Amino acid sequence: MTDSMPGQEGIKVSPDPCTLPVATQGARDYPFVMVMFGGAGDLARKKLVPTLFRPFRDNLLAENFRVIGYSRTGLSTQEYRMLVKESVIRHCQHPAPEELVEQFASHFEFISGHFEEDAKYGEIAAAIREGIPGIPPDVTSTLHYLAVPPDSVPLIIAKMKEHGLADGPGRNRIILEKPFGADRLSAHTLNQKVLEVFDENQVFRIDHYLGKETVQNLMFFRFGNNVFEPLWNRNYVDHVQITVAEDIGIETRGNFYEQAGVVRDIIQNHMLQLVAHTAMEPPASFEADAIRDEKLKIYKSFRKMPPEYIAQNMLRGQYGPGRLGKEIVRGYREEDKVSPDSKASTFMAGKFYIDNWRWSGVPFYLRSGKRLPKRITEIYVEFKQPPLKLMGSACQEAPNALCLQIQPEESIILRFNTKQPGVDNLPYPSMLEFNYAKSFKAATYPPYARLLLDCLRGDLTLFARQDGIEAMWGVVDPVIQFWEENPVPDFPNYKAGTWGPDAACQMMDRDSRQWRLFE
């Protein structure tokens, strides 16, 4: 729920919960061979394998598919299948019958080797050529999923080229994880390498935020209704706030996080995707490129930020030891594989502007951090006050606001003023609420599963395009560079379990605004 919006009782507008089919056809017509680079790693075990199980269980995958895990872990195919079963049992939300898990695992094979080893790419190429018994090669898709640390990507791409892994007769696709590159230049270089092997329409740069139901719903909400769009601009919107708050720390990812920090991990990708969906113009159609063209325009319209602006308006933080609920947690510098004097930022709050016709002068406040008091992702659009205080100058009306909560609740809430009952003329902030869980019995589909199905069907809409990725880096590169050149002396500067450093609130105070408060 949106904690700081009073009047929680709301008005029920949605019809009674209804059960909808999650999907009709899924990707049943697309037999595939998936090569999972890093197939025994963390991402594969915790996310990809359990994710693939979901459409398998729902009968949305083709009957014929093979997954070839490739990692340096020395496993046989039998052992790998055990690992697959374990990861499904441990990480799938709903328990599944053992025979089904067994059947799923039987689609998996394993090649053990280091990513440098040429001979292994030969084995992979042979496995791809072998295809799926009984299925013509030209209707088989080959998906190369690179579930590997970012620094292994260029090597694997080079080896794929050398060994012709993308040259088969069927549909060849590559799925690349974020962060894609480490700045604009490295992303450009990496894009060039990838495009030597694949065409742009074979490249699926995944960002799981785009697979989240509420993020997709933003477009339906904005462009499927006529009441909000006329207000969705500088004339009516006072400001936009986007929060991606996490209560978890960096868990076991010290190595990665030391390189990435919050900007490369969250802001450059998840956060800028949320901004683009909030701010973009209506696309010419619902086609992938029409949507991606509009998003690109947003990234290109971000106001350029000189160093003095960054110093004032881009605030960073790093968590120290603290308390989350009853648990005492250690600080970032005490986490595994983190340097005791690390300069990596685990928090950022910044004020951005999009200098286009629609948004000129409207601040977009973005905030994200680890070890904040709770996990919440929300887009909050606050509207300007009416031109006159007709109810009396002392009468405090809460501004109209629209709150799109992405997690943990998936909801849309509109705040508007009504009259408090009684003899006085007092306004009362009320809510209109739509909530996914209350409205639809069908659970929302896991983001990775939705994106994998899209990839099998060849739908690029929810994947980033080369120019979009590079333009997103163009937005954050000056911040990364400024921070690297000007390390802060006072890290850690917020306690785990708090809402970040004081400077983030001071920035809002200067603008006479407030961050959203979540209890």
The catalytic site residues sit at 270
Closest CB to ligand BG6 among residues 210, 508: 210
- Residue closer to ligand BG6 by CB (options 137, 373) is 373
Q: How far is the CB of 257 from ligand BG6 (least distance, A)?
A: 7
> Within 354-393, which residues bind ligand BG6 (CB under 6 A)?
377
Write the DSSP assignment of 16-43 as a string of letters. S-B---S-SSTBTT--EEEEEETTTSHH
| Dihedral class, residue 172 (left if φ above 0, else alpha if ψ from -120 to 50, else beta) | beta
Nearer to ligand BG6 among residue 377 and residue 493 (C-beta): 377
Least Cβ distance, residue 281 to ligand BG6 (angstroms): 27
Q: Count CB neighbours of 355 within 10 A.
A: 12
Closer residue to ligand BG6 (CB): 128 or 187: 187
In angstroms, give the least distance from the CB of 265 to ligand BG6. 5
> Measured between alpha carbons, how far is 424 from 435 in angstroms, rounded to an integer?
33
Spatial separation of the C-alpha atoms in residues 462 and 280, rounded to whole Å: 14
Nearest Cα neighbor of 183 from 477, 417, 457 is 477
Min dist. Cβ of residue 486 to ligand BG6 (A): 24
Q: Which two tokens stand for residue 28?
A: 């049943």
Q: Out of 110, 176, 187, 265, name the contact with ligand BG6 by CB under 6 A.
A: 265
Question: What minimum distance in Å lies between the beta carbon of 282 and ligand BG6?
Answer: 27
Whichever of 265 and 454 has its CB closer to ligand BG6, that residue is 265
Give strand ranges (E) for 178-278: 203-205, 237-245
Count of residues in the chain? 519
Q: Which residue is nearest to ligand BG6 (CB)?
A: 265
* Residue 215 CB, nearest approach to ligand BG6 (Å): 10
Should residue 246 be labelled a site residue for ligand BG6 when binding is judged by CB under 6 A? yes
- C-alpha–C-alpha distance, residues 493 and 307, integer Å: 21
For the bound state, the minimum distance from the C-beta of residue 516 to ligand BG6, rounded and expressed in Å, comes to: 17
Which lies closer to ligand BG6 via its Cβ, residue 246 or residue 382?
246
Distance CA 51, CA 220 (A): 25
| Nearest-angstrom CA–CA distance, 124 and 121 | 5
> What is the residue type of 441?
K
The footprint of ligand BG6 on this chain (CB under 6 A) covers a number of residues equal to: 3
CB 234 within 8 A of CB 384: no
SS3 string, 37-74, reads: ECCCCHHHHHHHHHHHHHHHHCCCECCCEEEEEEECCC
The H or E element that residue 327 is part of is strand 327-329
Of 265 and 378, nearer to ligand BG6 (C-beta) is: 265
CB within 8 Å of 343: residues ≥ 6 apart: 318, 487, 488, 491
- What are the start-end ranges of the E strands in 451-519? 494-495
Instruction: State the nearest-atom distance from the C-beta of 413 to ligand BG6, in Å.
Output: 20
Residues 6+ apart with CB under 8 A from 387: none
Binding mask 75-114 for ligand BG6 (x = CB under 6 A): ----------------------------------------
CA–CA dist 172, 142 (Å, integer): 5
Structure tokens at 59: 């009968």
- In the numeric block, which tokens belong to residue 76? 């046989």
Give min distance, CB of 343 to ligand BG6, in A.
Answer: 18
CB contact at 8 A, 304 and 478: yes
Structure tokens at 213: 């139901």
Quick check: helix, strand or coil at residue 318? coil
* Contact call for residues 63 and 26 (beta carbons, < 8 A): no
Separation of alpha carbons 295 and 281, rounded Å: 8
Residues lying near ligand BG6 in the complex (CB under 6 A) are found at 246, 265, 377
